[in-house]
Amino acid sequence: MHRRETVREDVQIPLVLALMSPLAVVAAYPVAGLEPDRRPEAAPVITEVAKQEDWYRRALSGIEPPPLPRLRFLEDQGGWYSPFNHPGMTGRYDIRGWHGK
């Protein structure tokens, strides 16, 4: 005969609370809106991103001049994150030499 094992009573309540805690965290965040495909009327809108000379210098560092025509996408780069503007992996993968500086 096999004996059925059960969770001890002193462990049951903490176990249930631990399993429910992620649900409580999710429920704490407000709902973003009932129309997620539309921005709220009063939401700020970015109309222009002013890139300074140092922004271009950093974005093109490690690239021999003149920059290739395929890098013209930098002219359209907005204020969002781009991995092209930040150091990546180290060692032999650091082809632009950003980690050696």
**Residue with token string 């999710």:** 26
Q: What is the mean pLDDT of residues 22-26?
A: 58
pLDDT in tens, 49-88: 888 888 888 889 888 888 889 999 888 888 888 888 888 8
More confident residue, 10 or 81: 81
Q: What pLDDT is stored for residue 90 in this prediction?
A: 92
pLDDT in tens, 36-46: 788 878 888 88
Nearest-angstrom CA–CA distance, 10 and 19? 15
Three-class DSSP labels, 42-88: CCCCCCCCCCCHHHHHHHCCCCCCCCCHHHHHHHHCCCCCCHHHCCC
More confident residue, 2 or 67: 67
